[in-house]
């Protein structure tokens, strides 16, 4: 079965998606929808060549496609996904998949009723190294805590500081650090540790830097999430207005696992911490030996592995992953993370 896919949006992430899709034989890129026909055709000329451009969604859906990839602002995901499903198209939706659990339940039920697939493009959970960490945690008897750090200074923040309207910082467009970055950290935490028993988000709203003004539609600029489990806590530090150079860590009773980038892990260092330390408090950690557990990821595109997984699901119905059907795991994770996002944003 050839997955004839249409691309909604002409943003940077859509460009990355096309780069990955062109390397996978299962896909054929047939159509691109832009905000204008000119933008769609320009995107095609630069990235696809043989697809057809559209500026009308109904006409786009009438093309010879059986799958739609939605790379639009968060607040638009639901309406475009539902319309695609109603027209018999599988839907791959950029993260976070929707704005509310209610939207997810409605769209997922529609997909199930029509025998279609609704997939969230959460690229990190399909990587080899994310799943190496997942297995390490599964095999660790005594998790004692963890800190996930995902602070990434937004390229749009300078414009926002100058007074421009920026969707990613607007609640009206389901923006904010929690929705944009927190979804990576929460997806990792929930996939690795399960749903927490309790949770809290201490956040601040984004402000115009010079005046300190906080707009009525201002979303969160960042904050700290605490996920409480039975015997440990996970702290998540987020920001779209700060840049961190620290790594994330997971702690057990005798080791520390250090991860370089929660969204695209390339190194997993295991430090054994239970050894006798004669230097005590002043023990110099520099040069401490560690075991590298990460594997080399495919360097041909950061979205390649997720689209390979989606192809397997759409073509074969599901695929086995650690004795659990991947589509079931993916769907459960999307809903659980969206549940947390909704609760934490209140």
Asked whether residue 85 falls in the same domain as residue 213, the answer is no
Asked whether residue 109 falls in the same domain as residue 147, the answer is no
Average pLDDT over residues 172-194: 94
Asked whether residue 158 falls in the same domain as residue 218, the answer is yes
Res. 285 pLDDT band, cuts 50 70 90: low
Asked whether residue 96 falls in the same domain as residue 133, the answer is no
> What is residue 210's predicted lDDT score, i.e. its pLDDT?
65
pLDDT digits (tens, 9 = 90+) for 327-345: 999 999 999 999 999 999 8
47 pLDDT higher than 70? yes
- DSSP H/E element including 341: helix 326-345
Is the CB of residue 88 less than 8 Å from the CB of residue 176? Answer: no
Asked whether residue 228 falls in the same domain as residue 250, the answer is yes
Is the CB of residue 243 less than 8 Å from the CB of residue 153? Answer: yes
Is position 343 within any domain?
no
How many other CB atoms are there within 10 angstroms of residue 16's CB atom?
A: 17
Q: Which position has the higher pLDDT, 317 or 157?
A: 157
Asked whether residue 274 falls in the same domain as residue 137, the answer is yes
pLDDT digits (tens, 9 = 90+) for 103-138: 999 999 999 999 999 999 999 999 999 999 999 999
Q: Write down the mean pLDDT value for the chain.
A: 92
User: Could you tell me which of 168, 172, 154, 170 has the C-alpha nearest to residue 218?
Assistant: 170
Tokens describing residue 4: 């004839």
Report the Cα–Cα distance between both ends of the chain, in Å, rounded. 43
What gap in Å lies between CA 54 and CA 200, rounded to an integer?
Answer: 43
Is position 95 within any domain?
yes
288 pLDDT higher than 90? no
- Per 3-state DSSP, the chain is made up of helix, strand and coil in percentages (nearest 5) of 40, 25, 35
Asked whether residue 109 falls in the same domain as residue 182, the answer is no
What gap in Å lies between CA 246 and CA 249, rounded to an integer?
Answer: 10
Asked whether residue 143 falls in the same domain as residue 284, the answer is yes
> What is residue 141's predicted lDDT score, i.e. its pLDDT?
81
Res. 89 pLDDT band, cuts 50 70 90: very high
Diameter of the chain measured on Cα atoms: 72
Q: Which position has the higher pLDDT, 278 or 45?
A: 45
Please tell me the total count of domains within the chain: 2
What gap in Å lies between CA 84 and CA 82, rounded to an integer?
Answer: 5
Asked whether residue 110 falls in the same domain as residue 164, the answer is no
Asked whether residue 173 falls in the same domain as residue 149, the answer is yes
Res. 208 pLDDT band, cuts 50 70 90: confident
| Cα Rg of the chain, angstroms | 21
> What is residue 322's predicted lDDT score, i.e. its pLDDT?
43
Asked whether residue 188 falls in the same domain as residue 285, the answer is yes
> What is residue 284's predicted lDDT score, i.e. its pLDDT?
60
Is position 307 within any domain?
no
Owning domain of residue 236: 128-263+265-301
Q: What percent of the chain has pLDDT over 90?
A: 81
How many other CB atoms are there within 10 angstroms of residue 110's CB atom?
A: 17
Q: The CATH number of the domain where 156 resides is what?
A: 3.30.360.10
Is position 284 within any domain?
yes
> What is residue 26's predicted lDDT score, i.e. its pLDDT?
96
Asked whether residue 192 falls in the same domain as residue 62, the answer is no
236 class by beta-carbon count within 10 Å (0-12 exposed, 13-18 middle, 19+ buried)? buried
pLDDT digits (tens, 9 = 90+) for 61-85: 999 999 999 999 999 999 999 999 9
């Amino acid at each position: 079965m050839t997955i004839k896919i249409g691309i909604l949006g002409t943003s940077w992430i859509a460009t990355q998606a096309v780069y990955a899709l062109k390397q996978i034989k299962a896909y054929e890129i047939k159509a691109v929808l832009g905000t204008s026909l000119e933008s769609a055709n320009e995107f095609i000329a630069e990235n696809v060549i043989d697809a057809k451009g559209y500026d009308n969604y109904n006409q786009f859906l009438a093309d010879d496609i059986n799958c739609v990839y939605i790379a639009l602002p968060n607040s638009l995901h639901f309406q475009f996904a539902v319309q695609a499903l109603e027209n018999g198209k599988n839907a791959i939706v950029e993260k976070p998949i929707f704005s509310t659990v209610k939207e997810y339940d409605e769209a997922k039920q529609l997909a199930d009723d029509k025998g279609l697939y609704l997939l969230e493009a959460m690229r990190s959970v399909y990587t080899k190294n994310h799943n190496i960490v997942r297995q390490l945690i599964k095999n660790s008897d005594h998790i004692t805590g963890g800190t996930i750090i995902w602070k990434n200074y937004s390229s749009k923040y300078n414009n926002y500081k100058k007074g421009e309207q920026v969707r990613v910082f607007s609640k009206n467009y389901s923006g904010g650090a929690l929705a944009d970055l927190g979804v990576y950290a929460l997806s990792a935490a929930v996939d690795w540790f399960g749903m927490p028993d309790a949770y809290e988000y201490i956040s601040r709203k984004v402000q115009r830097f010079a005046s300190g003004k906080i707009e009525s539609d201002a979303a969160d600029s960042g904050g700290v999430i605490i996920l409480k489990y039975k015997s440990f806590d996970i702290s998540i530090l987020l920001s779209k207005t700060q840049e961190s150079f620290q790594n994330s860590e997971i702690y057990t009773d005798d080791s520390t696992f250090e991860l370089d980038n929660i969204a695209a892990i390339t190194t997993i260092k295991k430090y054994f911490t239970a050894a006798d330390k004669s230097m005590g408090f002043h023990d110099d950690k520099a040069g401490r030996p560690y075991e590298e557990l990460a594997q080399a990821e495919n360097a041909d595109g950061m979205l390649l592995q997720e689209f390979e997984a989606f192809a397997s699901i759409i073509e074969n119905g599901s695929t086995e992953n650690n004795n659990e059907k991947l589509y079931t795991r993916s769907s459960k994770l999307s809903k659980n993370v969206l549940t947390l996002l909704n609760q934490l944003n209140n």
